[in-house]
A and B are shown apart, each in its own frame.
Chain A
């Protein structure tokens, strides 16, 4: 319950945050909503000498919805994602996923940037962002770069972000009109990380699948974007045979580990059930 002491910093801009990060290296951590970091600090599993609070940095806030892309500031909270009707119009799967993350209090504070940067395979946004083929903007001492969500996750708590970088934006391509989208999550109770979860997007034309994207959450030490599963749907009539092939490919791609949520065999079974539900829902929502 009791974290160890730290020096607290509250920079007014990204440059200020970067210079503190550079000065203190490994000893410094940024804090966004704090709802993964503070729990870890309370259990003394994270040791932070310099805590850099990003809450005053306006450049990390706000949702901008363009025709082709949606840009979401890293400090945008889950609550703000849910409340934003224009975002729900442009990319409805985001609200659907945010509503199965944590609980109301946590959603008021927890941010999209923290969720995707945390690196815990239990987080839901990373798989969702892989499904959406989003990109993350990172700002560091050498400037700004973008990393695709599909290349960002290396292992549990290991990502492509360097210690001296701050994840500043999430950039999401707006799915084509009529794209069926679904995020399905099996969990033991409210606020739990997924036993299995899946994000699915499907485009159709005349009953034929023209594009598909499938990602799986908390079924390996990173989120898994399943290219083979997506490919199993494209060109098909989205009938039972194609859906079963996609599910089989996804189960083949995941590597769940046994924990309190169940043994490996069970998780693979649940993953198949969840994915099939997500596919069916995405199909039902696709138009054209």
Chain B
């Protein structure tokens, strides 16, 4: 099968490469672009470790062919740090509230939480749990992930208020 010329915008940067259409987006990100934050935890589209933000939607990048993502705008966990390299609010709250242990689900969790809080800036605990249900974690038991996201919600809302 012939390769196609792939163009994407990842974390605000235009990137390109050659890949077969069958290449999964997760493999293109990790292997061609060396963006190795998003992970692979399954082959049945359950775990969400590969979650990225694709054109404003949380998507499991193991279940998208790179051909389908041609010209898409993608954000990965690498794009969620502040411009000066310090941690973004959600990242900082995961650290502060011990929302990770092995860290394998964390990039997908944080990228999903980013979109969840865009859509629902002040979620209830139940809404956080439901909104994060496409992401599995083997270590934390979820409790501290929920705390991290609730805390991030508070911080982001406070920042927004201060800015207004």
**A interface vs B, CB < 8 Å?**
1, 3-8, 10, 31, 34-35, 38-39, 41-43, 51, 53, 55, 79, 102-106, 108-109, 190-191
Interchain CB contact under 8 A, B22 and A106 = no
- For window 26-71 of B, CB contacts with A under 8 Å fall at 40, 43-46, 48, 51, 57-60, 62-65, 67-68, 70
CB nearest to B40 among chain A residues:
A1
Shortest beta-carbon distance from A60 to chain B in Å: 15
> Which residue in A3, A103, A108, A109 is a CB contact (below 8 Å) of B22?
A3
Q: Which residues of A contact B44 (CB under 8 A)?
A: 39
Interchain CB contact under 8 A, B133 and A34 = no
- Given A4-B22, A38-B63, A53-B67, check contact A108 B45 (CB 8 Å): no
A111 vs B163: C-alpha distance when bound (angstroms): 38
A205 vs B48: C-alpha distance when bound (angstroms): 47
**B interface vs A, CB < 8 Å?**
1, 4, 20-22, 24, 40, 43-46, 48, 51, 57-60, 62-65, 67-68, 70, 112, 116, 131-134
Q: Which residues of B contact A79 (CB under 8 A)?
A: 57
CB nearest to A103 among chain B residues:
B134
- Given A39-B44, A42-B43, A105-B59, check contact A34 B68 (CB 8 Å): yes
A8, A35, A42, A190: most-surrounded residue (chain B CB, <10 A):
A8
Interchain CB contact under 8 A, B46 and A191 = yes
Interchain CB contact under 8 A, B67 and A34 = no
CB nearest to A37 among chain B residues:
B63
A35 vs B112: C-alpha distance when bound (angstroms): 18
- Given A34-B68, A191-B134, check contact A106 B1 (CB 8 Å): no
Shortest beta-carbon distance from A261 to chain B in Å: 16
> Which residue in A51, A102, A105 is a CB contact (below 8 Å) of B58?
A105
Q: Which residues of B contact A8 (CB under 8 A)?
A: 4, 21, 65, 67
> Which residue in B60, B68, B116 is a CB contact (below 8 Å) of A53?
B68
Interchain CB contact under 8 A, B43 and A108 = no
> Which residue in A3, A39, A104 is a CB contact (below 8 Å) of B45?
A39
Interchain CB contact under 8 A, A39 and B1 = no
Q: What are 26 A-B pairs with beta-carbon distances under 8 A?
A: A1-B40, A3-B24, A4-B22, A6-B1, A6-B22, A8-B67, A10-B67, A35-B45, A38-B24, A38-B45, A38-B63, A39-B63, A41-B22, A42-B62, A51-B67, A53-B68, A55-B68, A103-B133, A104-B58, A104-B112, A105-B134, A106-B45, A106-B60, A106-B63, A108-B57, A191-B133
CB nearest to A55 among chain B residues:
B68
Q: Which residues of A contact B1 (CB under 8 A)?
A: 5-7
- Given A7-B21, A38-B63, A39-B44, check contact A104 B133 (CB 8 Å): yes
> Which residue in A34, A43, A104 is a CB contact (below 8 Å) of B43?
A43
5 more A-B residue pairs beyond the given contacts A1-B40, A105-B59, with a C-beta to C-beta distance below 8 A? A3-B22, A7-B21, A39-B43, A39-B63, A108-B59
A273 vs B60: C-alpha distance when bound (angstroms): 34
CB nearest to A33 among chain B residues:
B63
A102 vs B133: C-alpha distance when bound (angstroms): 9
